[in-house]
């Protein structure tokens, strides 16, 4: 079994869906499970629906209608017969969405978020599955919520590996091709959960681990893993091979090509990961596998925008000791604030964080009761793996550096944007 993951950019329109077909025809589709994300910017559009829902906006149903129209145009471009079953299946998903926003009683934002946001993946996989069947590639559509079971930490759910393993093991492997959703799962009450933003890569890794897959391939609009994001750095180069360890390091520091949670389950079973281009599927791309000799021979640059630099100091000039730091990190965990850099002195403690769930203002109020809190919003965190003087100069040039931290292989710099 091979696991292929196609992201939203690969199925953003009818041409993209047709290209998925061409990729499968080119590289083969026997004994393959496809994990597919929501189409294009659908997740963003559904976040507008969620915003309208909570604000009781008059635009709620029109924002849903906009998403219906977007998908309907893709349907019209792919299926001439408007009586085709796919039209009814897609309509049913949107009807479920509208029923939910009419009938839901829960005020829990994260719960509501997961029930609404998941429609994107359900609709995209429905369309792709029908199109492949129509084009002669027989496949079975799977509702991933019947297989990946999680706790009820909505928006960032934790996988119940034992239960998930049992359910995935029951899949009839005699079928040659499966199509399922990325990003989503279900809790013990069968309410939809999500695995964190960009979690479709993680879904692919979960299936690979539980099925003992031969490999995982993530199909992207780039030729593979680059040593830098070409949007921010010139002359980015392809990394042909890297180790699991290096890929985990890059993912931890914020490299966007591979989701941070994806690599651990693959490493445990030494399942190779390939990052390849859906534009040129015959190119080798990047392979991620076991081996210390696969470290990059060039510096790797990562930038995370819109971070917050927080500096805490004791009100009475006493030392910030282990018990204080433990308490501070307990609060970061409680408010789901991701810490990307730490620096401390005798009476101060600084962290660069990502406020993914917009909890910083609440956290700041709590911290202010015990510490003097200073902060800079909208800072950028640059990380250079395997740095040298020349690569450091590239990042530091013409920037206001707020924090600089150097370890054996990694340089991190926080700058004011």
Q: From the annotation, which residues make up the binding site for substrate? A: 121
**CA pair distance 144, 241, nearest whole angstrom:** 31
Q: What is the DSSP letter of 145?
A: G
**Pairing state between β 32-36 and 177-181:** parallel
The annotated binding site for ATP is made up of 231
The annotated binding site is made up of 121, 231
Q: Is-contact 26 217, C-beta < 8 A?
A: no
CA atoms within 13 A on the CB side of 280: 6
Q: Phi/psi at 164 (nearest 5 deg)? A: -60, -40
Q: Is-contact 320 342, C-beta < 8 A?
A: no
**CA pair distance 167, 149, nearest whole angstrom:** 9
**CA pair distance 244, 228, nearest whole angstrom:** 18
Residue 240 tokens read as 């042909």
Q: Which residues contact 69 (CB under 8 A, 6 or more apart)?
A: none
- What are the Cα distances from residue 30, in Å, to 137, 167, 176, 178? 10, 22, 5, 10
Q: Count of CB atoms within 10 A of residue 356's CB?
A: 13
Nearest to 200 by CA among 188, 213, 212, 217: 217
Strand, coil or helix: what is 182?
coil
- What are the Cα distances from residue 407, in Å, to 331, 341, 413? 26, 12, 12
Nearest to 12 by CA among 74, 64, 92: 74
Kindly compute the dihedral angle of the four CA atoms of residues 330, 333, 337, 340, in this order, to the nearest 10 degrees: 80
Most distant CA atoms of the chain, gap in Å = 75
């Amino acid at each position: 079994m091979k696991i292929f993951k196609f992201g939203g950019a690969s199925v953003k329109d009818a041409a993209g869906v047709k290209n998925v077909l061409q990729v499968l025809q080119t590289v083969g589709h026997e004994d393959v499970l496809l994990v597919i994300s929501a189409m294009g910017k659908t997740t963003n559009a559904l976040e507008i629906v969620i915003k309208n829902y909570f604000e009781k906006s008059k635009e709620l149903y029109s924002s849903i209608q906009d998403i219906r129209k977007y998908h309907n145009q893709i349907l019209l471009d792919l299926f001439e017969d408007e009586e085709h079953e796919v039209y009814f299946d897609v309509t049913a998903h949107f009807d479920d969405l509208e029923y939910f926003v009419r009938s839901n009683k829960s005020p829990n934002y994260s719960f509501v978020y997961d029930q609404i946001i998941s429609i994107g993946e359900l609709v995209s996989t429905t369309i792709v599955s029908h199109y492949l069947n129509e084009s002669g590639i027989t496949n079975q559509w799977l509702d991933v919520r019947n297989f990946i079971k999680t706790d009820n930490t909505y928006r960032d759910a934790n996988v119940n590996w034992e239960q998930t393993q049992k359910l995935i093991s029951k899949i009839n492997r005699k079928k040659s091709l499966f199509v399922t959703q990325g990003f989503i799962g279900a809790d013990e009450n069968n309410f939809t959960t999500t695995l964190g933003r960009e979690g479709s890569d993680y879904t692919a890794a979960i299936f690979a681990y539980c099925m003992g897959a031969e490999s995982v391939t993530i199909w992207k609009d780039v030729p593979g893993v680059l040593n830098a994001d070409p949007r921010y750095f010139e002359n980015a180069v392809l990394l042909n091979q890297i180790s699991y360890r290096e890929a985990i390091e890059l993912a931890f520091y914020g490299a966007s090509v591979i989701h941070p949670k994806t690599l651990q389950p693959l490493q445990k079973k030494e399942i190779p990961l390939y990052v390849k281009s859906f534009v040129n599927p015959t190119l080798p791309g990047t392979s991620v596998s076991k081996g210390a000799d696969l470290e990059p021979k060039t510096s790797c640059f990562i930038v995370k925008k819109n971070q917050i630099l927080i500096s805490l100091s004791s009100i009475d000039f006493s030392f910030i000791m282990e018990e204080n730091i433990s308490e501070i990190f307990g609060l970061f965990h409680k408010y789901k604030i991701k810490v990307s850099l730490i620096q401390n002195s005798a009476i101060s403690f600084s962290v660069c964080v990502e406020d993914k769930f917009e909890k910083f203002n609440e956290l700041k109020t709590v911290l202010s009761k015990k510490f003097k809190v200073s902060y800079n919003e909208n800072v950028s965190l640059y990380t250079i793996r395997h740095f040298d003087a020349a690569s450091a100069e590239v990042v530091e040039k013409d920037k206001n550096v707020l924090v600089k931290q150097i370890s054996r292989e990694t340089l991190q710099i926080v700058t004011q944007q």
